[in-house]
Amino acid sequence: MVRLKEQKHMSDKAAGISQTVNDWNLKQWMKAALAIAEEGVRHGENPFGAAIYRSDGEQVAVAHNTARSANNPSAHAEINAIAAACKQLGKRDLSGCWLATTAEPCPMCLSATALAGIRHIAFGANQVVVSEAGYGGLGINGRELAKLFSCDIDMRGSVLGNDCIALLLRNRKRERSA
């Protein structure tokens, strides 16, 4: 289903926009990602959610994982949110937007995020917890992969980390039907 640190001043070089995004913003955005993830779980989906916001705080899109119902291993929450945001804005370039996601993005999702022009990512649970919950990985976490990209990606972990970890561990893959 898709629905349309201390306070720190940052400059989004890619978009040429000066913005102020602080911990309060990131927590509010993560709450939206958690809420949509919980909705997905209620519909039998894997426990992942993502939200895309403009740096001024306007929500562009939220989405949960739909890999199970779509029988599509690429239907991750981040991919679904990026698709919805592009449709909502009528363009492929999401420069100046932030991605809030309940778990550290996998290589596919991180790559799609970078290709969409998003340079700021806030995540809740790290890849170690994702693996512990049974959702695996490809041997490289998002933070390691981001260092290899030709663009700078600002990744902030543990935003509402305990809530995101609890969501994953309550919904372990091995405890749910395949």
- The beta strands (E) that lie in the chain are given as 2-3, 8-12, 17-21, 49-54, 59-64, 97-103, 120-125, 154-156
Has residue 52 been placed in a domain?
Answer: yes
Has residue 63 been placed in a domain?
Answer: yes
pLDDT for the residue numbered 88: 98
Of the candidates 22, 30, 51, 57, the residue with the CA atom closest to the CA atom of residue 124: 30
Has residue 9 been placed in a domain?
Answer: no
CATH code of 70's domain: 3.40.140.10
Q: What is the pLDDT of residues 105-146, one digit of tens each?
A: 999 999 999 999 999 999 999 999 999 999 987 888 899 999
Has residue 178 been placed in a domain?
Answer: no
Has residue 75 been placed in a domain?
Answer: yes
Q: What is the pLDDT of residues 4-53, one digit of tens each?
A: 322 233 334 434 443 589 999 999 999 999 999 999 999 999 999 999 99
Has residue 12 been placed in a domain?
Answer: no
Has residue 1 been placed in a domain?
Answer: no
Residue 168 has pLDDT above 60, yes or no: yes
* Cβ atoms of 163 and 124 closer than 8 Å: yes
* Cβ atoms of 136 and 172 closer than 8 Å: no
Q: Which domain holds residue 109?
A: 23-171
Q: What is the pLDDT of residues 61-91, one digit of tens each?
A: 999 999 999 999 999 999 999 999 999 999 9
Q: Which residues are catalytic?
A: 78
Q: How many domains does the chain have?
A: 1
Mean of the pLDDT values across residues 157-173? 97
Has residue 8 been placed in a domain?
Answer: no
